[in-house]
Copies of this chain bind each other. A is one copy, B any other.
Amino acid sequence: MTFSSDIFATRESEVRSYSRGWPAVFEKASGSWLTDREGVRYLDFFAGAGALNYGHNHPVLKEALLEYMSGDGITHGLDMSTVAKGEFLQTFQDTILMPRNLDYKVMFPGPTGTNTVEAALKLARKVTGREAIINFTNAFHGMTLGALSVTGNAFKRAGAGVPLVHTTPMPYDDYFDGDMKDFRWFEQVLGDSGSGFNKPAGVIVETVQGEGGVNVARAEWLRGLADLCKRHEILLIVDDVQMGCGRTGPFFSFEIAGITPDIVTLSKSIGGYGLPMALTLFKRDLDVWSPAEHNGTFRGNNPSFVTAKAAIDHFWSDDTFEKATIAKGNRIHEAFTELSEKYDGVSTRGRGMAQGLVFEVAENAGKVCSLAFDEHLLTETAGPSDQVVKLLPPLTISDDELEQGLDILARATAKVV
């Protein structure tokens, strides 16, 4: 063995988490499967928390990457102009932006979700000269101080060690189970100069809240939000880090609503191959940055640009992929609806291939994941009480693999409820 069996327990910080729920040492990966060092194979229904929409080590991307790396293509490019970046930009423009009529400028922040969120918040504040940001209940946007301030989870927030300020949560879609008109509270405080709310620079929203428990915003709610922002001259930021890149069907998760956010964040699957990469997109007239005003060492992770371009070429040249995702999403929904109808205290919600199985007795969700792991299926819980089994399978998963995993979940649910 090449390392001591207790190296993780003795040397890695207690902050580690996934390694606790999935107590294996993984070695290889391909498509929807991970293999541990004893050769045991695990079906991956979590896909790098949404960073592996195209599965592990997809052969088309792999080929492009190996060719690039073998040929001494630039690895680390700061924010220099490189061929890999140029090709990515051209493809992203021609295949993603133009067909969707989105004339966004493209910023390369540091290559992580939290970094693109920080860039988006800074830009919104810079453009408007205001400091307040509206976020939503149960939002998740990242762990650095700015992103954490718009994240809802109390446990994560407490980690800041300083009070998190300048942000105020508004109720997300359906937070009141239909008891209250959409945006009733939000609209009223904006229109009331005595409300005590500072006029916000921007609103940051996920179209589906993954970490928050697979909460789905309806298209009409998103349109209402976009309309409210426009009327009040507030910038609308859609954080598409987890739900973008096809997770819910279309490339951008907000497409179903027919809206054009002012700023969009992308990361996770944009690099295609699970490599770190992030983008901040914004309307042309918002590009008021001075050169180097927001920088970072790894914003030119060129291998990601190569696989990002290859992924766009391969998956997004027509609508086959989008349709397949929706179909598979429907299949998961169908299976989960069956479970919901069969068992008390179980319900389901989701969009595309972001689907949740919700348990009234919160700890049942964790039990299901644990039982699933025993059958070598990787899943995770989400929501403020970890009451949701959250499914984010690779979008490239085969129908057979999908059924295999759904069967395991059905069995686990049966045991638990």
Contact = CB atoms under 8 A, between A and B. Distances in A.
A145 B143 contact: no
B72 A57 contact: yes
Interface string A203-214: 000000000110
Interface of chain A, main secondary structure: loop
A347 interface: no
B65 A69 contact: yes
A160 B298 contact: no
Nearest to A292: B17
A171 interface: yes
Interface string A1-28: 0111001100111111111101111111
Contacts of A311: none
Nearest to A58: B75
A151 interface: yes
A138 interface: yes
A295 B193 CA distance: 18
A144 B179 contact: no
Interface residues of A, number: 155
Interface stretch (A224-232, A249-257, A272-280): A272-280
Copies held by the complex: 4
A247 interface: no
A184 to B, nearest CB: 6
Interface stretch (A110-118, A334-342, A403-411): A110-118
Nearest to A118: B144
Interface string A155-179: 1110111111111110100011001
A135 B196 contact: yes
A23 to B, nearest CB: 8
Contacts of A159: 122, 126, 293-294
Contact of A112 (B2, B115, B199): B115
A289 B121 contact: no
A113 B78 CA distance: 13
Given A18-B78, A110-B112, A163-B162, A181 B184 contact: no
Interface in A375-394: 383-385
A49 B30 contact: no
A107 B15 contact: yes
Contacts of A147: 144
Contact of A83 (B25, B150, B195): B25
Contacts of A114: 110, 115, 144, 296
Nearest to A212: B194
A56 B75 contact: yes
Contacts of A18: 78-80
Contact of A268 (B132, B213, B289, B297): B297
A360 interface: no
A131 to B, nearest CB: 5
A290 interface: yes
A287 interface: yes
Given A79-B17, A189-B169, A287-B13, A196 B151 contact: yes
A218 interface: no
A7 B94 CA distance: 11
A196 B156 CA distance: 10
Interface stretch (A85-93, A320-328, A351-359, A363-371): A85-93
A377 B106 CA distance: 28
A52 interface: yes
Given A176-B180, A176-B185, 6 more contacts: A11-B105, A11-B106, A28-B72, A122-B160, A137-B196, A139-B196
19 contacts: A8-B86, A8-B89, A12-B89, A17-B295, A26-B81, A49-B78, A110-B144, A122-B161, A125-B161, A136-B196, A137-B196, A143-B294, A144-B144, A154-B195, A154-B198, A155-B293, A164-B198, A167-B196, A180-B180
